[in-house]
Amino acid sequence: MENWTMGLWQACVVQEEVGVQCKDFESFLGLPAELRISRVLMFLSNGLGLLGLLVSGFGLDCLRIGETQRDVKKRLLILGGILFWTAGVTALVPVSWVAHVTVQEFWDKRIPEIVPRWEFGEALFIGWFAGFSLLLGGCLLNWAACGTQAPLASGHYAVAEMQTQCAYLENGTANPSV
């Protein structure tokens, strides 16, 4: 029994006696259109995901960089969530497109029975899981950024507030606006 799988980078055949044998694709331009576009979209997804990670990282409350500019941090979190969501969409589109083409070709009656039928490989399911995880992460990040503002609970914020209040008390004023 043989199972034929085709991914973005190589085609593999799984045989009971031999095991897995894979062959890399020779040329980018020799690939079908759906694989060329899928490669580009997956690269775009990886780049957007990395950019979203960096942007949202700078928007986290645990970083002391720009801790007084909470509106900027909130905007960075929202932008990071949008980038994660976009990365999830650009990962799900090519994975689902390749799955659709695989199913269409598997059930195509015009292809003779002697030609091997392509099946789903493991990378397809990993791609769906990654895409949905990126979508969920982007939605949760935006929900957390746009949700109600939680009270400051971390230690360095409480110390910073106490230091500013003590400075006003040392000046003899109890009101920071004076």
**What per-residue confidence (pLDDT) applies to 133?**
96
Mean pLDDT of the chain, nearest integer: 79
Residue 68 lies in a domain: yes
- Asked if the structure places residue 153 within a domain, the reply is no
CA atoms within 13 A on the CB side of 132: 6
In a domain, 161, yes or no: no
Sheet of 19-24, strands arranged across: 19-24, 10-15, 2-6, 118-119
pLDDT confidence bin for 101, thresholds 50/70/90: confident
Average of per-residue pLDDT across 153-169: 53
- Asked if the structure places residue 60 within a domain, the reply is yes
Residues 103, 46: Cα–Cα separation, whole Å: 26
Q: Please report the DSSP string for the chain in residue order.
A: -EEEEE-SSEEEEEETTTEEEEEE-S-STTS-HHHHHHHHHHHHHHHHHHHHHHHHHHT-TT--TTTT-HHHHHHHHHHHHHHHHHHHHHHHHHHHHHHHHHHHHHT-TTS-TTSPPEE--HHHHHHHHHHHHHHHHHHHHHHHHHSPPPPP-SHHHHHHHHHHHHHHHHTT-S-TT-
| 24-80 residue pLDDT tens | 878 888 788 888 898 899 999 999 999 999 999 888 877 777 667 778 888 899 999
Between 82 and 111, residue with greater pLDDT: 82
The predicted pLDDT at position 153 comes to 46
Least confident of 24-33, 96-105, 169-178: 169-178
Specify the pLDDT at position 88: 96
pLDDT of residue 128: 92
Indicate whether 100 belongs to any domain. yes
Q: How many domains does the chain have?
A: 1
Structure tokens at 98: 């390749």
Q: How confident is the model at residue 81 (pLDDT cuts 50, 70, 90)?
A: very high
- Measure Cα distances from 14 to 56, 62, 145, 154 in Å: 41, 48, 47, 54
Q: Does the residue 159 lie in any domain?
A: no
Note down the domain range covering 48.
31-148
Q: What is the CATH number of the domain that holds 69?
A: 1.20.140.150
Identify the pLDDT of residue 83: 96
Question: Does residue 72 lie in a domain region?
Answer: yes
Position 141 in a domain: yes
Query: What average pLDDT does the segment 78-90 reach?
Result: 95
C-alpha span between 154 and 174 (Å, rounded) = 24
Model confidence at 151: pLDDT above 70: no
